[in-house]
């Protein structure tokens, strides 16, 4: 089985994905790290040097490479992965995949992301938490129709990692 965590930047996909994989004794793959390894570049540098369109093309290519492999794995997507090409369709139409949307409110995402925006090229130029909140509001509105197609929607607002982990596990065992 493959388990996919998706959701906006800062929703905890990478952090929680590692924990979930450990609990299940599965391998863990972070799609951004996979892209960085294959492309020999940080995500920020890739956006800068080759542009977002190139990044999105590679993101789809490597997502398909991973989901067409046979191993049991937990995969943390990038925030934009479900919203480009036919990525969400590839995820929900694959009977071997269970997907989870980690859903958080705009203010919580903004608070979390403000100090971590430097290595997230889409938001690194925003100068205040208010600006970030406005950006996330619009962006999340565009992305929600994709995220909401996940097999399960997990309300992750104000929940400790352990509580979210336990909730994910109830859907898996």
Ligand X SMILES: Nc1ncnc2c1ncn2[C@@H]1O[C@H](COP(=O)(O)OP(=O)(O)O)[C@@H](O)[C@H]1O
Chain positions contacting ligand S3P, by CB under 6 A: 9, 13-14, 32, 43, 78-80, 120-122
Largest Cα–Cα separation, the chain: 44
The interface region with ligand X, picked from 14-22, 45-53, 56-64, 141-149 by CB under 6 A, is 14-22
- Nearest Cα neighbor of 10 from 82, 152, 96, 105 is 105
First to last CA, the chain: 12
Q: How far apart are CA 143 and CA 146, in angstroms?
A: 6
Q: How far apart are CA 93 and CA 81, in angstroms?
A: 16
In the shown chain, the binding pattern of residues 5 to 44 toward Mg ion, with x for contact by CB under 5 A and - for none, equals --------xx------------------------------
**Contacts to ligand X by CB under 6 A:** 7, 9-16, 76, 112, 116, 159-161, 164
- Binding-site entries for substrate: 32, 56, 79, 143
**Contacts to Mg ion by CB under 5 A:** 13-14
């Amino acid at each position: 089985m493959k388990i996919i965590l998706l959701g906006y930047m800062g929703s905890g996909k990478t952090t929680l994905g590692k924990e979930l994989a450990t609990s299940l004794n599965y391998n863990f793959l972070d799609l951004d790290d996979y892209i960085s390894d294959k492309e020999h570049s940080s995500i920020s540098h890739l956006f800068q040097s080759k542009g977002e369109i190139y990044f999105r093309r590679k993101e789809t290519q490597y997502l398909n490479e991973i989901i067409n492999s046979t191993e049991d794995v937990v995969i943390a997507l990038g925030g934009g992965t479900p919203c480009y090409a036919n990525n969400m369709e590839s995820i929900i139409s694959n009977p071997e995949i269970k997907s989870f949307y980690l859903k958080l409110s705009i203010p919580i995402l903004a608070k979390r992301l403000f100090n971590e925006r430097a290595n997230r090229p889409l938001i690194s130029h925003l100068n205040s938490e208010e600006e970030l909140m406005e950006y996330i509001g619009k962006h999340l509105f565009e992305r929600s129709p994709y995220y909401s197609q996940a097999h399960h929607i997990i309300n992750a607002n104000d929940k400790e990692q352990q509580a979210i982990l336990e909730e994910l596990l109830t859907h898996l065992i």
